[in-house]
Amino acid sequence: MTIRFEGQVAIVTGAGGGLGREHALALAARGAKVVVNDLGGARDGSGGSATAAEAVVAEIEAAGGEAIANAASVTDFAAVQAMVDQAVAKWGRVDILVNNAGVLRDKSFAKMELDDFRFVVDVHLMGAVNCTKAVWEIMRQQNYGRIVMTTSSSGLYGNFGQANYGAAKMALVGFMQTLAIEGGKNDIRVNSLAPTAHTRMTEDLGAALPLEALEPSLVTPGLLYLVSRDAPTRAILAAGAGGFERAYVTLTQGVHITGADAPEQVAAQFEAISNRDAEIVPEMGAAQGMIELTKAQQAHGA
């Protein structure tokens, strides 16, 4: 199976450098027409310029591809809508959205200003919400769409100094879970990519990571699969240094506990509650309630 994108239009946010640039170049090389979006700001979100996006467009065009540059901030819904309108006016459709734009304002939670927390959540989470909302009806009308959220191990598992970033990145997984359910009937498949790569977002981790092995281009093959016609949906794909793994949000079978000493029983049986032998990946949130009701019925002999 060869993954190609002829006749498809892709929007990649944060595509002026790093992972987004690699995603945009690879999509264009495989036939997609690409909107290269990048605010062109600093790593903390300050400033802005279209230069970075225009440089990537020049690379795509030099290789024989089609692309347009866009410097909209993903936090500005009107600007995002104008970007999507521009793509539709030029090429007639939008098939792929890669929510990749991001910023960092790292500090321990004790030292973090609430404005820095809000801003990081606004860019990562609400930026993805804005872009997804702007393409959602188009994809529904087409009965086709592929959307990727860029999550992170910092959200899935935590990382010191990144409470704001981690909260936003895990929120994107929850966003994906519901969109994949709602988009299913219109063949809109929604996935999450958790990359490990050497970009300006990770440059401060140089002492801890073998940066020469963490080229952003090694993550992009996973992205290409997640936006392909045969893509899965609701997958969390981790990628870095040529390694690919899947992360899951799972649910154990647990234990039924009631009575006046229920808190003490939860403490006493926490190991049994945590037993993963028969854990599941729920199809939707209601699975938790069904498991709990089933245990209650069994406990009462129903």
Ranges assigned E (strand) in the chain? 9-12, 33-37, 67-70, 96-99, 145-150, 188-196, 236-240, 243-247
Q: What per-residue confidence (pLDDT) applies to 236?
A: 98
Catalytic site residue from 144, 157, 165, 225? 165
Rounded CA gap, 22 and 36, in Å? 11
Pair 34, 23: CB distance under 8 Å: no
Q: What contacts 94, CB < 8 A, 6 or more positions away?
A: 9, 10, 11, 84, 87, 88, 135, 138, 139, 145
- In tens, the pLDDT along 207-255 reads 455 666 789 999 999 999 999 999 999 999 999 999 999 999 999 999 9
Full-model pTM = 0.93
What stretch of H or E contains 271? helix 270-273
Q: For residue 165, indicate whether it is catalytic.
A: yes
Segment among 107-111, 194-198, 266-270 with least mean pLDDT: 194-198
Q: Calculate the average pLDDT of the chain.
A: 94
Task: Report how far apart, in Å, the C-alpha atoms of 264 and of each of 42, 252, 270 are.
Answer: 51, 20, 10
Q: What b/e sequence results for 6-17 when a residue is b if at least 16 CB atoms lie within 10 Å of its CB, and e otherwise?
A: eebbbbbbbbbb
User: DSSP 3-state assignment of 148?
Assistant: strand
Query: How crowded is residue 204: how many other Cβ atoms within 10 Å of its Cβ?
Result: 12
